Structures are given as C-alpha cells and as structure tokens.
Amino acid sequence: MQHKEIVDSLSQSLGRSKGDINKLIEALSNVIVERCSELDSISVPRFGTIEAVKHKEFIEVDKETGNKSLIPPCVEMQFTPSTVLKKQLNQS
C-alpha cells in the first residue's frame, strides 16, 4: 500500500481532508525523529514498538586488502511487532 492510498483511506474514515492527514503523518514522523534520536522507544498497543538502537563504532577488516577501518557509531530504527500482531500474522 502506497502513501497516497493510506491518506485516502484515512481521510475517508476520519472525515478529514487529505491535507490534515498529511499534516498528522508529518507530525508523527517528527515526533518519532525527536524521540528516537534520544533513543526512546515508542510503543503502540496491539501494533508493536518502534525503537532506536545505537550501534557502537567497530573496526572492520577488509579481507582482501587487510586494511582496517573504524566504522563510526550509528542509530538504527527497529520495529518489534506486538504478540497480538505476530499471532494474527502467523494465523493468516
């Protein structure tokens, strides 16, 4: 499902304009950026948890050349589905 279809279906079910829905989605992504850059986790009941996991820096060795390089730290987004969603997924 693409972005447009989601906006359409949400605007229909909520009775709001597409602009409003887009605004809300933007607000949600802003909240996620703000919170996840502080390494918080956002949990949504019956859906799952979106969290930011920090990977420390590490030394990578190129097997061919033998060059070592230090890879900088990074924050990765992870999604863990709730047990309800997992069950539903595997039943279907």
Partner 1 sequence: MNEKIAFPQLVELVAEKASTTERMSELFLQELFTVISKELINGKSVKINGLGTFKTTKGDHGKEVVFVPDKDLAEDINAPFSQFKPVVLCDAITIEQLNEIDDSIMQPEPAATTIVEPVEPAEEIDEGAADNKIEQEENLEVAQEPQQEEPALPLEESPTETINKHNGKRKWLTIAAAIAATALIAGFATHYLKKGTTETVAQTDSVATPRPVPEPVVTDTLRNNNLIFDMARKHYGDQAFWVYIALENKKQYPDYNKIPMGAALVIPPAEKYGINSDSKKSLKDAGIEAMKLYKQVKASKTSAEPAVEIKQEDDTTTTKSLTKITKAKRLKPVRKQYRHYNLYRNSHRRR
Write out the DSSP string of the chain: --HHHHHHHHHHHHT--HHHHHHHHHHHHHHHHHHHHTT-EEEETTTEEEEEEEEPPEEEE-TTT--EEEEPPEEEEEEEE-HHHHHHHHH-
Among 17, 18, 19, 71, binds partner 1 (CB under 8 A): 71
Instruction: Give the nearest distance from C-beta 65 to partner 1 in angstroms.
Output: 10
User: Is residue 92 near partner 1 by the rule CB under 8 A?
Assistant: yes
User: Is residue 3 near partner 1 by the rule CB under 8 A?
Assistant: yes
63/70 with CB nearer partner 1:
70
Among 43, 63, 64, 83, binds partner 1 (CB under 8 A): 43
User: Is residue 79 near partner 1 by the rule CB under 8 A?
Assistant: yes
